[in-house]
Amino acid sequence: INILAIETSCDETAAAVVRNGREVRSNIISSQIELHKLYGGVVPEIASRKHIEKINQVIEEALSVAKITLEEIDAIGVTYGPGLVGALLVGVAEAKAISFATKKPLIGVHHIEGHVSANYIEHKQLKPPFLCLIVSGGHTHLVLVKDYGEYEIIGKTRDDAAGEAFDKVARAIGLGYPGGPKIDKLSKEGRSDAISFPRAHIEGSPYDFSFSGLKSAVLNYINSMEMKNEEINKADLAASFQEAVIDVLVTRTIMAANDYGMKQVAIAGGVAANSALKKVFSTACKEKGLEFYYPSPILCTDNAAMIGAAAYYEYIRGKRSGYDLNAIPNLKIGER
């Protein structure tokens, strides 16, 4: 089964051809980062317009790299939420048009289920059930993947997402957008025990997260240093902040794996590309006898290959979307 997958939920125009859910035949990503950088974040209106400009070219390239024609494609998978409504609509309209013209089935895919499914691509042995920590620009979810396409959320952030916290702290110390990769890199030159930042616990919700207090603590630290006219060691600050985020993510995930009897742990989403996070997770999982999985960095951030992987499992479960498929900006995980 060959699936043409399309992803336009945020600021990446992406298309891919994926065979049987796990074999990537092409994975084309046209990133708009350079454009949005000027504004310090994604500007929705610009994102939509750029998607329209790029989408056809990206799809053609995905087909040509995969050496496949539209006639040979078995289905079209597309992200229909969550994300920016105008951006999502470009991909959804395109997928509907291709589906209508070729009479191939259309499959709407949940963007976050795509992030989870990125793990299937490089780990052929990974099968549900497993525990997945989703850490992206807009989500921080701890999810039981009970079966393909079957999810139960057991924890989530009460405020900022992990990626959002990275981006905000990076902006506060002048590192620019997107901040995650920059903090990752700068942290390698700093001491993670230099500054002590808070770890938030939510009473009665052991698997939930909160990062707004941490973000405020970082901003307060910066202000107080400026008041005292003392120089901030940005590398130390980055490393200490990153350590605080990683600490709660890893501790809570390991606790949940233990409580729910999960032997396999996976991470997904842009922050899953973080090198220190992977290192700490891998040590902790080894210690507890858990198998640990993560996608390559290029499959962690937004891409269409992960949408093709998720679409395949929806396809074999019999899911088909109609031409009334619409963009749903706040689509919940597990919702159909």
What token pair was written down for 297? 């960095």
83 binds, among Mg ion, Fe ion, ligand ATP, none (CB under 5 to 8 A by kind): ligand ATP
Of the two residues 77 and 178, which places its CB atom closer to ligand ATP in the complex? Answer: 178
- Nearest-CB residue for ligand ATP: 270
| Min CB(115)–Fe ion separation in Å | 6
Q: Is 11 in the site for Mg ion (CB under 5 A)?
A: yes
List the strands of the sheet with 264-268, edge to edge.
150-156, 140-147, 130-135, 264-268, 291-293
Answer left, alpha or beta for residue 39, where phi above 0 means left and psi between -120 and 50 means alpha.
Answer: alpha
- Is the previous residue joined to 297 through a cis bond, with omega within 30 degrees of 0? no
27 belongs to an annotated ligand binding site: no
Give the number of other CB atoms < 10 A from CB of residue 72: 13
Identify whether the C-beta of residue 235 lies closer than 8 Å to the C-beta of residue 189. Answer: yes
160 belongs to an annotated ligand binding site: no
Alpha helices in the chain (DSSP H): 33-37, 44-66, 85-102, 111-122, 162-172, 179-187, 212-227, 234-259, 275-288, 297-300, 305-316
Q: Is 29 in the site for ligand ATP (CB under 6 A)?
A: no
Residue 19 to residue 3: CA distance in whole angstroms = 6
Using CB under 6 A, pick the residue from 130, 148, 151, 166 that binds ligand ATP.
166
Which residues make up the interface to Fe ion (CB under 5 A)?
Answer: 136, 302
| Min CB(203)–Fe ion separation in Å | 30
Supply the DSSP symbol for 297: H
| Min CB(275)–ligand ATP separation in Å | 7
Q: Is 302 in the site for Mg ion (CB under 5 A)?
A: yes
Of the two residues 99 and 294, which places its CB atom closer to ligand ATP in the complex? Answer: 294
Of the two residues 107 and 306, which places its CB atom closer to ligand ATP in the complex? Answer: 306
Q: How many helices (H) and strands (E) does the chain have?
A: 11, 10
Residue 221 to residue 24: CA distance in whole angstroms = 45
Using CB under 6 A, pick the residue from 18, 144, 248, 273 that binds ligand ATP.
273
Of the two residues 14 and 63, which places its CB atom closer to ligand ATP in the complex? Answer: 14
Q: Give the closest residue to 291 by CA, choosing from 131, 149, 155, 135.
A: 131
| Min CB(301)–Mg ion separation in Å | 6
Of the two residues 47 and 254, which places its CB atom closer to ligand ATP in the complex? Answer: 47
136 belongs to an annotated ligand binding site: yes
Q: Is 163 in the site for ligand ATP (CB under 6 A)?
A: yes
| Min CB(331)–ligand ATP separation in Å | 10
Give the number of other CB atoms < 10 A from CB of residue 97: 12
For the segment 175-214, give every residue that binds ligand ATP (CB under 6 A): 178-181, 184
Binding pattern for the stretch 9-28 against ligand ATP, x by CB under 6 A and - elsewhere: -x------------------
271 binds, among Mg ion, ligand ATP, Fe ion, none (CB under 5 to 8 A by kind): ligand ATP
Identify the residue whose tokens are 């939420």.
81
Q: Is 114 in the site for ligand ATP (CB under 6 A)?
A: no
Residue 4 to residue 89: CA distance in whole angstroms = 17
74 belongs to an annotated ligand binding site: no
Identify whether the C-beta of residue 159 lies closer than 8 Å to the C-beta of residue 210. Answer: yes
One-letter amino acid at 30 equals S
Binding-site residue numbers for substrate are 134-138, 167, 180, 184, 274
Q: Which residues bind ligand ATP (CB under 6 A)?
A: 10, 82-83, 111, 115, 136-139, 163, 166-167, 178-181, 184, 269-271, 273-274, 301-302
Q: Which residues bind Mg ion (CB under 5 A)?
A: 10-11, 302
